[in-house]
């Protein structure tokens, strides 16, 4: 009986509109040990047209604070992305991150190369996106650069997360982005020239030859835990996340169970629902009774007990006239 009910639940769950999560693995190469090295990305697709944003961290292997920010963003956006697509690469340079002497991260440069150079000065101005060169003719730097640039292709905005010791949080931007850069809510912003020096943010702009694209380099203070809200605030202003809302007490509405049974929630706190959207199923006497929201709004909280009686409060919803 329970197996049949679970099959029924799975069929009904198809109607729930949640962002699609796509995991991407790009092979960089093989180590002398035989272990393979990959760049791993997560693409979150809302299914609704909007901005396409690319975020990466740790191109300099010892600058690891951005990795935490990326992983927090993945968890947050997997539930809250409203429109558009966001591609996140928490570890843009696994070679650099794994480069250590004792317990010290040293992955700022490629120590395995004949010429030690800055990992963030390896990108090409006009990459041949379609041409597939043989590995025999490509250095480790070129393989990494083309892989990351290929992942970023097709996005409207690129954000490169860096960290430094004993610094203030600051962000680099290009002249045509002066108004948008304010959305990071970082007080100190440094304008970059359009001269090409091989950095990732520059390489992102050049292939498109227009100012419709944007690229930013955010420098976090390594001494402090980076605040993921910095990036969330920027994404909010790009209209792929919902703005902050302020409510009055009368905007808090409650939903009560019309039947007794075992309740299966199909939403989570913080999620947004439309009027008549399915929010739960009550399993009762071999059938599943659908529970739909009477309003459009945001889930404030859910009941903590899945065994419910008739008239028991099961959900609190925040509604606001601005939400429609």
Partner residues linked to 164 by β-bridges? 221
Confidence category of residue 324, pLDDT binned at 50, 70, 90: very low
Q: 242-259 pLDDT, tens per residue?
A: 554 556 667 888 899 998
Q: Place 133 in a pLDDT band, splitting at 50, 70 and 90.
A: low
Place of tokens 């990071």: 184
The mean-pLDDT minimum among 13-17, 148-152, 210-214, 233-237 falls in 13-17
At residue 241, the pLDDT reads 58
Q: What was the pLDDT predicted at 52?
A: 95
Query: What are 51's strand-pairing partners?
Result: none
Q: Is the model's pLDDT at 123 over the cut of 50?
A: yes
What residues does 252 pair with on adjacent strands?
318
Burial class of residue 79 (count of CB atoms within 10 Å of its CB; 0-12, 13-18, 19+): middle
- The DSSP secondary structure of 259-296, one letter per residue, reads S-EEEEE---TT-EE-TT-EEEEEEETTEEEEEE-SS-
CA distance 251 to 319: 5
pLDDT of residue 207: 58
Read off the pLDDT band of 7 (50, 70, 90). Answer: low
Report yes or no: 173 and 181 within 8 Å, Cβ to Cβ.
Answer: yes
Structural domains in the chain, CATH included, are: 20-237 (3.40.630.10), 247-319 (2.40.50.100)
β-strand partners of 111:
none
3-state class percentages of the chain: helix first, strand second, coil last, to nearest 5 = 25, 30, 45
134 to 131, 143, 152: CA distances (angstroms)? 10, 10, 21
Q: What is the pLDDT of residue 127?
A: 60
Question: Rounded mean pLDDT of 5-19?
Answer: 55
CA–CA separation, 78 vs 55, rounded Å? 15
- The pLDDT-based confidence of 182 (bands split at 50, 70, 90) is confident
Please answer whether residues 232 and 73 qualify as being in contact, where contact means their C-beta atoms are separated by less than 8 angstroms.
yes
The model's pLDDT over 79-107, given as tens digits with 9 standing for 90+, comes to: 889 899 999 999 999 988 887 777 666 77
| pLDDT at position 122 over 90 | no
Mean pLDDT value of segment 162-182? 82
Residue percentage of the chain with pLDDT more than 70: 80
Burial class (CB in 10 A: 0-12, 13-18, 19+), 14: exposed
């Amino acid at each position: 009986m329970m197996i049949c009910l679970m099959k029924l639940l799975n069929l009904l769950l198809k109607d729930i509109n949640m962002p699609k999560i796509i995991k991407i693995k790009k092979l960089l190469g093989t180590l002398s040990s035989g272990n393979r090295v990959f760049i791993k990305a997560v693409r979150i697709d809302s299914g609704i047209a909007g901005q396409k944003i690319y975020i990466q961290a740790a191109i300099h292997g010892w600058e690891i604070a951005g990795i935490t920010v990326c992983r927090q963003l993945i968890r947050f956006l997997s539930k809250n992305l409203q429109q558009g697509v966001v591609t996140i690469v928490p570890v843009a340079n696994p070679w650099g991150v794994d480069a250590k002497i004792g317990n010290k991260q040293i992955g700022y440069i490629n120590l395995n190369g004949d010429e030690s150079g800055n990992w963030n000065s390896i990108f090409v101005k006009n990459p041949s996106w379609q041409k597939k060169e043989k590995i025999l003719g490509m250095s480790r730097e070129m393989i990494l650069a083309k892989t990351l640039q290929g992942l970023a292709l097709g996005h409207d905005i690129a954000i490169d997360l860096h960290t430094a010791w004993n610094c203030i949080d600051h962000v680099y931007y290009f002249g045509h982005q002066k108004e948008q850069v304010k959305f990071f809510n970082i007080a100190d912003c440094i304008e970059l020239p359009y001269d090409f020096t091989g950095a990732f943010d520059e390489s992102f702009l050049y292939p498109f030859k227009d100012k419709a694209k944007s690229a930013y380099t955010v420098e976090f203070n390594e001494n402090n835990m980076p605040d993921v809200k910095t990036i969330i605030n920027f994404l909010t202003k790009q209209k792929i996340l919902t703005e902050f809302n302020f409510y009055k007490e009368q905007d808090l509405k409650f939903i009560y169970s019309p039947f007794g049974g075992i309740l299966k929630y199909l939403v989570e706190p913080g999620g947004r629902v439309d009027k008549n959207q399915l929010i739960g199923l009550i399993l009762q006497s071999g059938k599943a009774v659908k529970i739909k929201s009477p309003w459009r709004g945001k889930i404030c909280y859910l009941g903590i007990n899945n065994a419910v009686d008739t008239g028991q409060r099961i959900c609190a919803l925040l509604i606001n006239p601005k939400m429609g």
